[in-house]
Structure 1
Amino acid sequence: MRSTHSLLILALAGCSGQALAGGIQLYEAGQEGAGLANAGSAAQATDPSVMMNNPAGIAALKGTQVSLTGQALFGGIKFDRDGNNDFSGNEGGNPLPFLPGTSLFISHEVNDRASIGFGMYGNFGLSVKYDDDWAGRYFTQESTLIGISLQPTFAYKITDDLSMGIGPRLVYGYYYTKIAIDNNALLPGTPFQQDGNVQYKDTDTGTGINLGLRYQLDPRTTVGLAYTSKVKLEFKDSPSVHGIRNPLLNFAFSRANVDDLEIDMNIPQTATLSVAHQLNEQWTLLGSVDWQDWSDFADIGVSVDTAGGDVSRSVNRKYQDTWHLSLGAQNQLTPKLRWNMGVGYDSSAVKDKDRTVDNPMAEAWRLATGVSYKMTEDMDINLNYTLVWLGDMDVEQTKRNGQSLSGSYPDALLHIVGGGATWRF
């Protein structure tokens, strides 16, 4: 029975790490601040979307306001094999398909001290899909991880200059992964040529909390401090096995009698310090420093329950905490038209030697711009664009039999286009 369990774990080991495929925290949710590369996100309060970054910000909003936003993410991330690669197959095409998203934010001024609000937004997740017969198919073929947050919010003006806010957060998580299984494994030279695959899909909900303070230093300068707690998601389902024609693999899966595969992950906790300073009637300068606890996200527990006993395996992808720094500016071109611009830098959550094809992360530079236009006294619209530059990302992953997938993602980048509208009542 021990050998049967070990064979099953080997077959699922690649699947267990796929939770990392969505390991990217997005600052862009279509809001006006997306055109600032996250600069001033916890300090600037121009619409209800500020609750996503700092719940205290809605205390600065008058009346009732509603923001509806949307964004689309797509990329140029293509894998190139090098001379050290041992696997057959193509290079996978562009694994990052078009990924749309939408968000809704509402704020209401209860009185001159208290405000309430609600947000529904997605700022965590990614989806990758390689060609089925690509060289790295035994590491991953497809993986999607999406987190949608629902956040009721309360903000209160402690003094005329200091506000606090709290936003309990309910996150709905969806996870899907697909990995190829080599039907020739353990039986080299046999006619089992076409791959099988293992698929896994589940949903879960987790809870966390957003906290924030916002302080008006003087009529032109605002400082914001915000914290978001980690959110734990526990995916638990039976893997679905397809196209396994190798009798030894079939025997292993049937003997193991898998009931559940548990994949636990934490959406990282974060801390953000932001400042916004109005130079004059035309220019406002903004900045942010942000910390994200990716080292906690890296520990993924996997357990397999079988009829003959329990087998557990812990996978640590050696992720590390990251830092974000961004600077931005707003130019009030006319009384109705505002131009936003920003540049941001994020350190890498993974060292070069630990990078994997299921989540090819690296340090990133953000170049963002956008415009906000006042259509009427009660309605604004905004459009924004962000270029995320990841550069060259080398990858080398090795199976237990010594075979290596080796190559790089040259000139990798992401495009994020978004926009939205805000109504005031």
Structure 2
Amino acid sequence: MKTRNAKIVLAISIVLSSPNLYAAGFQLSEHSAAGLGRANAGEAAIADGASVVAHNAAAITMFQSYELSVGASYIMPEVRVTGNGESDSFNNLLTNNDVVDNVIVPSFYIAAPINDSWSWGLGIFTDFGLATEYPDDYLAGPIGGETSLESVIFNPAIAYRINDNFSVGGGGSVVYGQATLTRTLGILADAINAENGTNFKRSDIAKSLDGDGWGYGFNLGALWEINKDHRFGVSYRSRVNVEFEGDFYSDLPSSIALPGEKATGDLTLNLPSITEFSGFHQITTPLAIHYSVMMTGWDVFEEIRATVDGQEVLQKDENFENSFKYALGATYQLNPSFTLRAGIAYDETPNVNDQSISLPDSDRINYSVGATYAFNRNSRIDFGFTFIDAEEVTFTEPLEPNVLPDVNIAYRSEGDAYVYGIQYKHSF
């Protein structure tokens, strides 16, 4: 019996040393319904609502009165993962047609002038989120399970108008995050049972970390108003290191925690910087075009590492790369009450080195349409819709690089998403 327990502890210590967590690879851009309807083209320069706080604090100097904006986006992903090996029966065991959950992303903004030179604003929104889930008894449980990240940014901002053409601004970013990582034994339960005569189930928890934490950063921006019809905006949002603390748990006995016991775990998640350049041009009285180039500094996301009482329990190299998003849009003032908009964007994935079923990600094209209805001069409502068409990708992923170093599983992932947004704006 002691020999069996020793083998189990050894197997567990190996399993716990190799996590897969891709929480930071899922960026959200649903800051406003108006922005959603133009594929987020021109967001750092347009300033047609207080939601510009999320993109360029300097642009709040364009408001002549209080601006309030409250909205939400509903994201409906349709992401499918299947096996891509030679055996159809084995591929079917790896199929999951509902990998990513639907989610509502709310937002709140307010901005106002202080005097002729100074303005202030506040935004409550998110830049990053993820939710992928596989069945409890999924065959590839060691790399499936559940991976989720929820974050909210509290962003106070202030701006200064230098003259009629130039404004600068900045603010602080206070980020609160909740994260869950759960990996089940999957097929490893069969291997451990065969080796040790135990009775583990595929749905048993190999490792689970559930916690929350805070991180802090800053953002800077500048706006150049060439004239009333043409302007450029540039902004920088710093990286944020969110320090998580939570409960570590496993159904397997180890030197970290016995089955049924929880230990306090610590994990630092590096959220990347965002740099954005935008242009806005009123071509004719009803028609404007706008564009943006955004770079997200994913190269800070090099690894995931968690500890319990200073002892490493989760570690994996990630090696993400910086990614770019290119967006082009147009706005058409149909009449005093109705404004129409549309846009298209190409969005690169940062996850080009280590694709994983915990974050089935790829390059994508966003197709967007939207509209605004103005009730009067002070009240209006925005609607936006984006269809996200992601490329199909194939990749291989080790089932457990330390326990089963020669077992690489071939996968194919494909999917798209439908995003609906609504937002109410009021000037007073």
Q: TM-score scaled by structure 1?
A: 0.90
Q: 1:186 aligns with which of 183, 192, 200?
A: 192
Tell whether the 8 Å contact from 2:394 to 2:413 is kept in structure 1 after alignment: yes
Shift of 1:7: 4.1
Distance (Å, rounded) in 2 between the aligned partners of 1:323 and 1:165? 24
Q: Which amino acid aligns with 1:233?
A: V
Q: 2:282 aligns with which of 278, 281, 287?
A: 278
Report % sequence identity. 22
Partner of 2:208: 199
Partner of 2:149: 145
Shift of 1:5: 7.9
Q: Are residues 13 and 335 of structure 1, via their aligned partners in 2, closer, same or farther at CA, if it must alter by over 3 Å? A: farther
Tell whether the 8 Å contact from 1:21 to 1:128 is kept in structure 2 after alignment: no
Partner of 1:23: 25
Partner of 1:10: 14
Secondary structure in 2 aligned to 1:138? helix
Shift of 1:290: 1.1
Q: Are residues 30 and 43 of structure 1, via their aligned partners in 2, closer, same or farther at CA, if it must alter by over 3 Å? A: closer
Shift of 1:421: 0.5
Range moving further from structure 2, 386-395 or 62-71: 386-395
Give 1:21-420 correspondences, 5 Å limit: 21-84=23-86, 89-181=93-185, 182-188=188-194, 190=197, 192=199, 194-195=201-202, 196-197=204-205, 198-241=207-250, 244=251, 249-250=252-253, 254=257, 259-305=263-309, 310-311=311-312, 314-351=315-352, 354-398=354-398, 399-400=400-401, 401=404, 402-410=406-414, 412-420=415-423
Alpha-carbon displacement from aligned partner over 1:278-305 (angstroms, at most 9, x marks no partner): 0011110101111111111232223343
Distance (Å, rounded) in 1 between the aligned partners of 2:313 and 2:140? 25
Secondary structure in 2 aligned to 1:59? helix
Tell whether the 8 Å contact from 2:78 to 2:97 is kept in structure 1 after alignment: no
Shift of 1:93: 3.1
Aligned residues, how many?
A: 412
Distance (Å, rounded) in 1 between the aligned partners of 2:198 and 2:172? 56
Tell whether the 8 Å contact from 2:301 to 2:318 is kept in structure 1 after alignment: no
Tell whether the 8 Å contact from 1:93 to 1:131 is kept in structure 2 after alignment: no
Which runs of 5 or more structure 2 residues have no equivalent in the other structure? 1-5
Root mean square deviation, CA, Å: 2.5
Distance (Å, rounded) in 2 between the aligned partners of 1:240 and 1:74? 31
Q: Are residues 209 and 183 of structure 1, via their aligned partners in 2, closer, same or farther at CA, if it must alter by over 3 Å? A: same
Distance (Å, rounded) in 1 between the aligned partners of 2:44 and 2:162? 17
Alpha-carbon displacement from aligned partner over 1:144-193 (angstroms, at most 9, x marks no partner): 10110001110110111111111111000110121102433434264625
Secondary structure in 2 aligned to 1:56? helix
Distance (Å, rounded) in 2 between the aligned partners of 1:254 and 1:371? 55
Distance (Å, rounded) in 2 between the aligned partners of 1:174 and 1:279? 45
Q: Are residues 413 and 139 of structure 1, via their aligned partners in 2, closer, same or farther at CA, if it must alter by over 3 Å? A: same
Matched, 1:421 2:427: no
Distance (Å, rounded) in 1 between the aligned partners of 2:254 and 2:224? 65
Q: Are residues 29 and 128 of structure 1, via their aligned partners in 2, closer, same or farther at CA, if it must alter by over 3 Å? A: same
Q: Which amino acid aligns with 1:83?
A: G
Secondary structure in 2 aligned to 1:32? helix
Q: Are residues 112 and 358 of structure 1, via their aligned partners in 2, closer, same or farther at CA, if it must alter by over 3 Å? A: same
Shift of 1:126: 1.7
Range moving further from structure 2, 182-191 or 97-106: 182-191
